Every structure is written in structure tokens, then in C-alpha cells.
Chain A
Amino acid sequence: MSDAETPADGDEPRSMHDSAALGKGDPVMQVEGLKKSFGGLTATDDVSLEVERGTITGLIGPNGAGKSTLFNLVSGFYEPDAGSVTLRPERWDEDAEEWIVEEHDVSGTPPHERVDSGMVRTFQTPRKPEGMTVREAMLVGPQNQVGESIFALFTNPEQVRMEESEALARADEMLDRFGIAHLAGEPATELSGGQMKLVELARAMMAEPDLLLLDEPVAGVNPTLANELREFIHSLNEDGVTFLVIEHDMSFIMRLADPIIVLDQGSVLGEGSPEAVRTDERVIDAYLGGAL
């Protein structure tokens, strides 16, 4: 995994950019000119932004600003009217024996192919896999399992068993890391909303993403658990995972993310450090209503 880099604060201008900061050194995702309208309503209008590798980038904006639409466009759940999405996952090059950055233009590809390119998303309302235990749900995360092919189940059962053991070990490890190892055998439907948020994050990690999109990770979560989640996200970030986080809880996102991108009425209002965003007149006008 890459070094945990945080953008050098000295280079950041004190005030907020007028648009998303483009031309970053090592973006893990580049979004260019994304447009989507539903009937007469323009949900995202020409959104361009970049997510720098190693950051926790926040995405805020008032209701209806187009945050969730943007997530759905970027993750392939919606088809954009125009624009492109490029992912730049890091891959281990066996020959060169070093990490190299690949460039995948994923515009127009279905969601599952974008996961191949290192991007995994979570949902605003946690999805509970009915009829599965937490451990089983975790085991859906790993990518390209041999055992997902019916033929391999009969031609190569030993490989399947080995991968399954490995995945189980990683699932246990991950659940343990998130402090929910005791829930492994519980039916996924029995969990509380907060526990489910943890499981969802842990499960997304099973897919070993370069970039993890979190849609309101602490919505409906009590403050203690929210703090815990913030710690987990920070620690995963230190392991090299880049995050793009939508969140309405201002104090949470201000303490978690840097930089923060502000969306308003379908377009990017600006980008900047939490302080810059917090004090920016336009953001306050558009969104915070003077609350901060």
C-alpha cells in the first residue's frame, strides 16, 4: 500500500478554491464534466473533481446538492448524460516488483467493473444481507474468488478451500479490528444500525479497495460509535486506503476529512481545508445558514 500521505498544509491556500482543486499530483480518481438530469431536474451539472491518493476527502452540500447522485454516477449505478470517470488504482507489478499506478477509464462500465479498478462504495442505508451471518456477509467482499465459478468448485476444490480459509482469517481479523468479532456468528439482520455500519465498512475493506466511497457513514449513529468510526477510518487511511466521504454531520466531517469539496445545486462550489470551508461566506450562505 502507498505511504500514508497527507497533503502538505503549507501549500494549501487559506481560503477556499472557487472550484474543485484539479491537477493534483496523484489523484486516485478523476471526475470530469459529469452531468445528469432526471427529466427537467439537473441533479449534477458539469461536476469535475479529483480525489488525491491517501487523503480522506469530504463531500458536503445541502440536501439536493447532488452528492448521492454523484456517488451513484461515479460508482456506475447511474448512467451519466455526459462526462468521464477515471480511476488510478495501484497494482503490484510482479515483473518490476514495485507498485505501479494504472489508469482505468471506467466511464460507462457497470458497477462491478469499477470495483475491479479499486473503487468500492457503501450505501446510506446499510444493506442487510438477509439469511446470512455477519461472517458470511464478510466473505462476499473479496474480489475474484475462484469459488465464484461453478466449474472451479468441481475442478479445483482445493484452491477454493484455501481461498476460503484465507478469506475467513481476514474476515475474523477485520471484525476483530473493528471490535465486533463477537458478532461474527450473528444473523446480519439482527444487528443494530450502528453495528451494521461497522460491518459494512469492514466488508467493504474485504474487497481491498484503493478508494472507498462512504455515503453518510455516521447517519443515525450515536456519538460514541461515530467517534469510533472516525478512528477506524483514520486508521484504514493510514494503511493506504483513500476515502471520499459524504456526511451531513458537520463536526464529524470537519474532524475527519481534509480537503472538503462543497457541492451546491449540482455543481462544485469550492474545495478547501476544513477551516477554509468553515469560514467561507458562500458555503455559509449556501448551506450552513450561519450555523457555524
Chain B
Amino acid sequence: MSDDDPKRAADSGDDAPTRPAGSGEDEPQTGAKSGGGARSGGDAADADGSPIAAAREADSLRGAAGALVGGLTTAERNVASALGAFIALLLLFTAAGVINPTYLLYLLSLAGMYLLLSMGLNVQWGYTGLINFSVAAFFGLGAYGAALVTSSDAPITIAASPLLGLVAGLSLAGILAVLIGIPTLSLRADYLAIASLGLAEVVRLIINNEGQWTGGAVGLSGIPRFYENWPVLGDLARGTPTAAANLALVSVFVVATYLFLRRIHRSPWGRVQRTIRADEDLAKALGKDTFRFKMESFVVGSLVMALAGVFFAHLQLYLAPTSLLPTQTFYVWIAVILGGTGSDRGAMFGGFVIIAIREGTRFVGGSLPIDAGPLRLFLIGLIIILVIRYRPEGLLPPQRELVWPGASSSQADGGDGQ
């Protein structure tokens, strides 16, 4: 279509009466844009169109810096200040001796685990629209995979390195995701929902009943810390130092996962996923192998959930099938919906809020005339109703256009390649 410029000029002549007045003035811009856009020899054209190019570049720069300061949206500012205030409050309480620092570190590690779970579900539901009700199963497989391989009390004792456990946990979850994906992902979305609802219980019951393999209802103990055999970290004293190390570990997991997900979310891959979510037929009509994309999304999300499970096993050092109860799954769903479906940061924020409510109510419980357990569920239920009623898109929905970083139609670097 290299020869379309003269044609377009001719067209706009024909169309002039019916087109909006502005279209005529757009023509020169088009020339500059198409010349500058990643085509070699675009430098000259770009020099001509420099005001536009400069403006666009400034735009993209602002976008990049936006994550840091200037370009924060209202929602982002609100969430950031709420988080800041909350953490300041926590620190204040800790300094005042109300909260035990070791416990605080433990809670934050647990929150980190929830961030992973909700990020994993956000890949499946938020990006692609896959309804997965077996978060607990993938989490559990990650946890049990890691625990069975590393525990010194496992029915079949391997007591291997936690790194091997990590691989085992992720592989188990990945394999299960593929197996459940093959029959369900080519069907309508509801079938995955139904199948996964059953799957979660099947996985839990198998673990519960196959005691000779899994330790059964009694649970598995003797799980080492993740960094047990590492230099320095392995020698840390019990209590605050190990709790701090756990938090550091989960932070590494969270940051690595976030960076990974952000990259795939902003890519053409992520865009196809979002198209599938909106309308799978549209994605098909545009030549996308939707089954492949859904499978990839399902597996990636499941792996992230399994990673949370691996961390959980090494955080608690003990694992029982009760950790795989369906409530786990629904907490994570609530976190994603609350935070903002389709937004990685929203999912993380949602995970944080859920853990804050779940664990925070342990403290307020004593001073209230009712029991803390029901209050917790009541609060979470109330929040869901309020969010769906007043802010159905979640507290921190996707804020910006997602385009590959550095890519812009007027960039002046036709020279480095093509």
C-alpha cells in the first residue's frame, strides 16, 4: 500500500463535502507520521513534522514517568495515599508496641502471597475473561508440590532443595492447567467455570484422602524454609529475622511477577487476550488462535497461583488440606473484583485489602460485642456490595492505554534495524 498517498489525496477531494472540515488539515500530518513511523529514511520526514513528533514524544515520556509521579490518575492517588496512611498506621502501632513486629512481618508476607494469588487470577479473569473457580487447587498444588518434595516428614521422603520444590509445585500446577484447559477452553466460558469448581474440590479431596502420598488430613510438617540451605539467610535466628527474610522473599516473588505480567499485559499478546475477553469471535475473525491464547493465559495465571502456594508452604512450614477450602478461591475473586478487573496493580491492591480485613478483624474482634469470624465475612460481603453498587469497575481499574513501551508511531529511530 505504498502508493496510497496520492489516492488518499484524491479521495479527500471527492469526499470533501461529506467529511468533517478538519480532515483536510490532517493530510500533511499523515504524511509526516507514516514517513517517520519506523520506516527507514524517516528522519527527514520527522524533522518536518517535528512539532507533532515532539508533542508525541513528550506524551510518551509523560506516560513513562506517570507511574512515578506527575501523571497519576485520581484513582491512583487515592489508592496510594490510602495505602501510605495504612502502612504508616501499622508502623505507628508497631512502634507503640500494639503490634508485635514479627507478627506484622508475617502478616505482610501473607499479604504478599495474596498479591500473587490475585495477580494470577487477574491474568485469567482480568486479561482473558476465563472464569476459574479453582484458585485454591492451583495454589494447593504449588504448596503441596513444594512441600512433598522438600519436607523431611513427607510420606515418601525426598527432602530435596526448595528450589526443586519450586519447580515441582509449578510443574504440577502447569500440567493440571493444561489438562483441564484442553477439554474446557474450546467451549463457552461457563464450562471452564463449572469444571474448575469441581476440580478444586477434587484436588482437595484427593489430598485429604490419599494419606499415603500426601499426609492426608493430618497435614504435612517438616517443611524447611525456602532459604534453609542458603548462606547467611539459612543461619538467621528464629523470630523477627526469619520473618523479615520471608517478607523479602515474597517481595522478590511479587516484584518479579509484576514485572513479568506488566510486560506481557502491555504487549500484542495482552491485547489479544483483552480482545478475547471482550469478544472471542472478534479475535477469531482477526486471525487469532484463541484456544492457544486462552491456554497460555490459563497456564500463566495458574503458575502465578502455584508460586503463591510454594511460598505459603515455606512460610507456614506446615500444610493441611484445609488451606485448600473454596473460601480461599473466593477471597481471591473478591480481591480482583475489588481492586479492578484487568489491572495488575488493582489486583495487588485488592489482595492487600482482603488480607487487611481478614487479619485486621482479629484485633478489633475483642473490643466488639460480636464474634470476629462472622464480622470478617460480613465486612467482606459489605465491601463487595458497596463496590459493585458504586464502583463496579473496581477501586483501581486499568488506567491507561496499553502499548508496548517505547513504541510510538512517530518515533525517530528508523535507523536501528529495518
A interface list, Cβ under 8 A from B? 1, 75, 77, 110-112, 115-116, 120-123, 127-133, 135-137, 139-141, 143, 145-150, 153-154, 158, 160-166, 168-173, 176-177, 179, 181-182, 185, 203-204, 207-208, 224, 227-228, 231, 235, 238-239
Is there an interface contact between A112 and B402, defined as CB atoms closer than 8 Å? no
Partner pick for B404 among A116, A128, A164, A208, CB 8 A cutoff? A164
Say yes or no for B290: interface residue by CB 8 A criterion: yes
Is there an interface contact between B37 and A122, defined as CB atoms closer than 8 Å? no
Is there an interface contact between B411 and A112, defined as CB atoms closer than 8 Å? no
Which residues of B lie under 8 Å from residue A77 when comparing CB positions?
281, 284-285
B interface list, Cβ under 8 A from A? 1, 4, 7-8, 11, 14-15, 18-20, 22-23, 26-27, 29-30, 33-34, 36-39, 263-264, 267-269, 271-272, 274-275, 277-279, 281-290, 293, 296, 300, 342, 398, 401-411, 416-418
Tell me the smallest distance from the CB of B365 to a CB of chain A, in Å. Answer: 39
What residue of chain A has the Cβ atom nearest to residue B263's Cβ?
A153
Q: Is the interface of A mostly helix, strand, loop or mixed?
A: helix
Which residues of A lie under 8 Å from residue B7 when comparing CB positions?
235, 238-239
Is there an interface contact between A162 and B285, defined as CB atoms closer than 8 Å? no
Bound CA–CA A207/B285 (angstroms): 10
Q: 3 tightest A-B contacts by CB?
A: A169-B37, A115-B287, A164-B407
Is there an interface contact between B407 and A165, defined as CB atoms closer than 8 Å? yes
Is there an interface contact between B418 and A162, defined as CB atoms closer than 8 Å? yes
Bound CA–CA A46/B241 (angstroms): 77
Whether A166 touches B37, Cβ cut-off 8 Å, given contacts A129-B274, A150-B296, is yes
Partner pick for A176 among B26, B284, B403, B406, CB 8 A cutoff? B26
Which residues of A lie under 8 Å from residue B38 when comparing CB positions?
162, 165-166, 169
Bound CA–CA A202/B27 (angstroms): 17
Whether A148 touches B269, Cβ cut-off 8 Å, given contacts A112-B289, A115-B287, is yes
Is there an interface contact between B23 and A112, defined as CB atoms closer than 8 Å? no
Tell me the smallest distance from the CB of B99 to a CB of chain A, in Å. Answer: 39
Which residues of A lie under 8 Å from residue B290 when comparing CB positions?
112
Is there an interface contact between B409 and A111, defined as CB atoms closer than 8 Å? no
Is there an interface contact between A115 and B300, defined as CB atoms closer than 8 Å? no
Which residues of B lie under 8 Å from residue A127 when comparing CB positions?
278-279, 281-282
Partner pick for B287 among A116, A154, A227, CB 8 A cutoff? A116
Partner pick for B275 among A120, A129, A133, A177, CB 8 A cutoff? A129
Whether A148 touches B272, Cβ cut-off 8 Å, given contacts A136-B401, A153-B263, A168-B403, is yes
Is there an interface contact between B408 and A168, defined as CB atoms closer than 8 Å? yes
Given contacts A1-B1, A150-B300, 14 further A-B contacts (CB under 8 A): A75-B285, A77-B281, A77-B285, A112-B289, A123-B285, A127-B278, A132-B278, A140-B272, A145-B268, A147-B404, A148-B268, A168-B403, A170-B37, A228-B18
Tell me the smallest distance from the CB of A69 to a CB of chain B, in Å. Answer: 15
Bound CA–CA A241/B93 (angstroms): 69
Is there an interface contact between A173 and B34, defined as CB atoms closer than 8 Å? yes
Is there an interface contact between A132 and B418, defined as CB atoms closer than 8 Å? no
Is there an interface contact between A153 and B269, defined as CB atoms closer than 8 Å? yes
Whether A129 touches B282, Cβ cut-off 8 Å, given contacts A140-B271, A150-B300, A165-B408, is yes
Which residues of B lie under 8 Å from residue A164 when comparing CB positions?
268, 403-404, 407
Partner pick for A179 among B19, B264, B274, B407, CB 8 A cutoff? B19
Is there an interface contact between A154 and B263, defined as CB atoms closer than 8 Å? yes
Bound CA–CA A145/B288 (angstroms): 10
Partner pick for B23 among A1, A179, A208, CB 8 A cutoff? A179
Partner pick for B267 among A122, A147, A179, CB 8 A cutoff? A147
Bound CA–CA A179/B271 (angstroms): 24
Among B15, B269, B287, residue most surrounded by chain A Cβ atoms (within 10 Å): B287
